[in-house]
Amino acid sequence: MHPVNQPSLETDSLSRRQIVLLVTALVFSVMSFSLNATMISPAVRDINETLGPGAFVAMSAPFYLAGALANVVLIRWSDYIGRKRVLMGILVICVLGTILCLSSSLPIVVVGRFLQGASNITYGLGFMILRARVSGATFGVCCGLMASINGGIAGGDAFLAGIMTDVWGYRSIFVFITVVGLIAVAFAWKWVPSDGLDEPGARSEGRMDWIGAVFIASSVGGLSMFMSEGGHGGWTSTPTLVWLAVTGATFVALIISTNRIEHPIIGLKHMRSREAWPLIVVTILIVGSFMVIQAYVIPFMAEDPDSGFGLNATTTALLFLTPAAVVQVFASPFVGRLAVRIGFVTVLRAGIVATIVVIALMAVFADNKWAIVALMVVYGITCGAVIHTPLMSLGVLQASDEEPGTLPGLSNASYGVGFSLGFAWAGPIVGSGTDSTFQQAFWTCATIGVIALVFSYVLRPKPLARERVSPGGSTAPQPTH
């Protein structure tokens, strides 16, 4: 199996114009997923009124589950058939799924959301394409730019979605996203370099381990469902225990299968190293704590008329969510460039420490609206930029040279598991409705963050390569002189 090089600290294999066009194509690719995640939030009421009570929840769970499953299977598959092929295929599937979401039938919409959710892999594929194409300095800036899109387009997408829902209904959002998806398909086809068949390191040897893929997808899906069921139905309920059994059985089957196959979907030797497994643990803990604050705790706190501030949705977005998204967009590219200089893991650790302090201050000033508003701006920098940029990049940077698609897939899938964990603990606490509800939520989050910090010091950084960018893992031609 040919090695795949780390991003170089020296030179790029593409011209500046080619890099701009490539990043543009990748940004539109990740937008095809992120808009599907962020723009439907203001349309919750319209969706439930149109498709029936509980429709929003019914169509959301398959969306995130599909992302977890696709990450652990399709990114690894791209090691064998090429990044661009998988990227183009998933973008087309996303467009088809979005079109299905225009249906008035909830089951069809659920299928559409599942297909949309698989486009979560555009992030992992995008980072891997960049890794093989651009130098360390440029790689850091591009990673920051792509990571900033994950939370939406500086908050403007949510406001646009609200206006579109009020004027034309929620289906107009999916029409808009369909247009963005078609643009992404065109840009990716035109500007993402083609996969080369005869370049060293362009493809992994052997065949895709589809048996292992079934087992690992079942394990990840089972773990996500275990977290979800445990948080809602109780940790000893029958469905929860069934999903725990499924997770355990398929994980054991995965290990057995891996030891019997020459080219397994997961190389256990690398996954046992400190360069790999701590990243998965850190990702789950960070997403299950810090990121749940912005996704759930703060919006609930802002709109809760009893224990919170009793604001409407528009004011909540204006005061608490949009400022954090704006500073994230502007800070992330600088954080990425800094990470190349001092280390992505070092920046990640600094972000965790800073965010723990921010969350602790939120707990202290939980009854002060304007203090929380100010702290959310700082949170947009410490968590949105300083944590999120290296966290989304490390799956690629820490990956095994022999199996470059494995760790990115697992680390991206850990986001879904982390959110399941976060909602499992946050739901009961935030929903309790006591005077200390939000203080307890903030302190719980800070505690989980401390555990994440400990595991971040277990994580051993994999140094960036210092040779010129080569086509390993991609199709970049060697520059001529």
Q: How do residues 55-98 score in pLDDT, each as one tens digit?
A: 876 787 788 788 888 988 898 888 888 899 999 999 999 999 99
236 pLDDT more than 60: yes
200 pLDDT more than 70: no
pLDDT (average), residues 339-356 = 94
396 pLDDT more than 80: yes
Of the pLDDT bands very low, low, confident and very high (cuts 50, 70, 90), residue 468 is very low
Of the pLDDT bands very low, low, confident and very high (cuts 50, 70, 90), residue 157 is confident
Closest to 280 measured CA to CA, from 5, 66, 63, 72: 72
Average pLDDT over all residues of the chain: 83
pLDDT (average), residues 384-402 = 87
Per the model's pLDDT, the better-predicted residue between 155 and 371 turns out to be 371
Q: Are 427 and 232 in contact (CB under 8 A)?
A: yes
Of the pLDDT bands very low, low, confident and very high (cuts 50, 70, 90), residue 481 is very low
Closest to 51 measured CA to CA, from 115, 116, 118, 110: 110
The predicted pLDDT at position 465 comes to 54
410 pLDDT more than 90: no
The predicted pLDDT at position 92 comes to 96
pLDDT (average), residues 280-308 = 86
151 pLDDT more than 70: no
- In the chain, the amino acid numbered 325 is A
The predicted pLDDT at position 4 comes to 42
Q: Are 386 and 351 in contact (CB under 8 A)?
A: yes
Of the pLDDT bands very low, low, confident and very high (cuts 50, 70, 90), residue 431 is low
Closest to 470 measured CA to CA, from 4, 109, 67, 33: 4
Per the model's pLDDT, the better-predicted residue between 182 and 232 turns out to be 182
Whether the CA torsion 290, 412, 33, 469 is positive or negative: it is positive
471 pLDDT more than 60: no
Highest mean pLDDT among 50-64, 131-145, 205-219: 205-219
344 pLDDT more than 80: yes
Closest to 221 measured CA to CA, from 419, 408, 418, 65: 65
The predicted pLDDT at position 362 comes to 95
Quote the DSSP letter at residue 39: T
| Side-chain half-sphere exposure of 2, counting CA atoms within 13 A | 18
Range with the poorest average pLDDT among 114-128, 348-362, 407-421, 458-472: 458-472
The predicted pLDDT at position 404 comes to 79
Highest mean pLDDT among 222-231, 240-249, 408-417: 240-249
Whether the CA torsion 462, 464, 465, 470 is positive or negative: it is positive
pLDDT (average), residues 301-323 = 80
Share of the chain above pLDDT 90, in %: 33
360 pLDDT more than 50: yes
- pTM assigned to the model: 0.80
The predicted pLDDT at position 88 comes to 95
